[in-house]
Amino acid sequence: MIIFDCDGVLVDSEILSNDIDAELMSAAGYPITAAALIRGYIGRPKAEIWAAIAEERGVPWPDGLLEKADALLLERIETDLQPVAGVAEALALIPGRKAVASSSALPKLRKALARCGLLEIFDPAVFSASQVAHGKPAPDVFLHAARECGVPAERCLVVEDSVAGVHAGLAAGMRVIGFTGGLHSYSGHAAALLAAGAVEIVTNMCDLSDMVSLQRP
């Protein structure tokens, strides 16, 4: 089975999400760029990212700010979200079972996939870190996906765009392909995923089916 992360792998939501977060955090007195958030934090559940940065700044966020970020992102999903270029074509070329395992909350995850015309490809095998005890880089969501689909973890291959996601896949006993074809990809992205343990890097969706064929357990 092939397990896909969603944000930055299937849909180009990382740019939208981190732009919103950076703007709200900066307005609340913690100047930070979307690029810095992407480089340092992607792959983890949003609430954990906000909590970690609040601890760094030493001051809690204003009440309701995270909820405002979530609401703004849902609005942007409805109007601006696009699938990663070539993803539908790439998925059609990959045989066998497929699942999604994401750090996003389940309602947002399903909304994003539906907006991009991808939900029916995976449904009902769409899983969120909100369904397990610990988000990435813990392996919980990948193990949950494998268990719910009745597939041994060692028979799963993960496609991930974040260091946290690579660590989670490896901790679950799965091989991980790194993906750097999203709009949020940054200088050093591929090197960071390889250093985290990705077996190979795919930079364009048109190459994904061939790489899956080579790396499939």
Classify 55 as helix, strand or coil: helix
Tell me, what amino acid is at 125?
A
Q: For the CA atoms of the chain, what is the radius of gyration?
A: 16
Residues near 213 by Cβ (< 8 Å), separated by ≥ 6?
Answer: none
The yes-or-no answer on residue 161 being catalytic is: no
Report yes or no: 9 and 182 within 8 Å, Cβ to Cβ: yes
d(C-alpha 29, C-alpha 88), whole Å: 40
The length of the chain in residues reads 217
Tell me, what amino acid is at 9?
V
Report yes or no: 168 and 156 within 8 Å, Cβ to Cβ: no
Report yes or no: 76 and 16 within 8 Å, Cβ to Cβ: yes
The yes-or-no answer on residue 210 being catalytic is: no
Residues with catalytic function: 5, 7
